[in-house]
Structure 1
């Protein structure tokens, strides 16, 4: 499938503080000899718009040739929903596909598989044997309004912003869902 023909904005969530990684910007931490950000954007290759949501190293991210957005309203490091919220605001397409920068083993055909699982005016959320992986999702851009309402009401949990929306599950193996939160995870 030609991802370039899909009406999807891809988003890499790379705005975390990296506390468990010793304060490093996880996007530039190497996994198997390659920065995590390179692996993440490769998963979204071919989409007509790719956004990197980041709160630091902005010039470094921009040098990769992608649009970079930051958390709104001075919410730096307010969590991944702040980054997703900013991405929804900048999305130029009717669908938004999100991946965290620290999940390097996502399948190479992720975009195609999520697109095939989509539901009208809803979202597809990944799940693994560990449970829901809500930052790996494909959402109808109209759900950005739901996220705004949830945020204004004080909600910050990625697992809850879409509660009540039409949704489908997308299954990942434990290996595909593994993320790099700490230096030991890089091995």
Structure 2
């Protein structure tokens, strides 16, 4: 008999970079990311649950599973899920994935390999396994207990230890997440008004030039704002800085990160400089 697949939406994080609970954010159609994520999971799994912190006493309109330990990140949610239903495979997603669609989750479920420990997507940026949109089989449970006992808290590191089936994303932006206010604006504009492919010219300064391995480049992007472009570049070029420490100029004028991009814009990225 085929092992059932249950859904787990991770919503117990601190959302420190966003400054408020990401799960409460409404991006499109008036649905919070919590409600949207649960709706997506409910369509492809036999049962779905909201993973919350162990000290969270709020009432939700969804079944919940509380973390069994503090400060263990996503792995705490998966641990609690296996404790709740050890016989099930768990499709785990995060609540901060505004571009995730039902077709992407359906493809993951259809691609499931029960003989592996996990079935996962690979990152569109570095090809590494994506742990927060993955089906974890019951056979992954012993490995999870082992890494937690060793103090490992990194979900990607855990997934990398498993025998897994890797598949490519059918929709490239499906796992682009929303960690900061700038990401939120990018998601809202993209989902409410659409994205188009455009060509921009990127100039790197200082340490960013060293990170990127070039002074400038022509870059094809579907990002709507400068912040969306930065996130694409940060991940694909392994840029070492966070957005808070970088300034952006568009066509030689300093702009906010929420500035919309247009075809053939020149985008210059400035790291912090000594003395200013």
What is the TM-score with the length of structure 2 in the denominator?
0.59
Q: How has the CA–CA distance of structure 1 residues 178 and 58 changed in structure 2, closer, same or farther, with 3 Å as cutoff? A: farther
For residues 1-187 of structure 1, the aligned pairs below 5 Å read 7-22=4-19, 24-32=20-28, 33-46=30-43, 47-55=45-53, 58-61=57-60, 64=61, 66-73=62-69, 75=70, 77-91=71-85, 93-119=87-113, 120-131=115-126, 132-172=129-169, 173-187=171-185
Which protein, 1 or 2, shows the higher relative CO under an 8 Å CA cutoff with sep ≥ 6?
Answer: 1
Q: CA–CA distance in 1 between the matches of 2:106 and 2:3?
A: 9
Superposed displacement of residue 34, structure 1: 2.2
Relative to structure 2, which stretch is displaced further, 43-52 or 88-97?
88-97
Q: CA RMSD in A?
A: 2.1
Superposed displacement of residue 164, structure 1: 3.8
- Confirm or deny: 8 A CA contact 2:123 2:130 kept in the other structure: yes
CA displacement 1:44-85 (0-9 Å, x = unmatched):
124222111112654332xx1x32122213x1x431111222
CA displacement 1:63-121 (0-9 Å, x = unmatched):
x1x32122213x1x431111222122213653110000000211212343112222214
Runs of 5+ consecutive residues of structure 1 not aligned to the other structure: none
Q: How has the CA–CA distance of structure 1 residues 176 and 162 changed in structure 2, closer, same or farther, with 3 Å as cutoff? A: closer
- Confirm or deny: 8 A CA contact 1:9 1:92 kept in the other structure: no
What is the TM-score with the length of structure 1 in the denominator?
0.84
- Confirm or deny: 8 A CA contact 1:9 1:93 kept in the other structure: no
Q: CA–CA distance in 1 between the matches of 2:56 and 2:26?
A: 15
- Confirm or deny: 8 A CA contact 2:3 2:88 kept in the other structure: no
Q: Which runs of 4+ in 1 moved over 3 A?
A: none
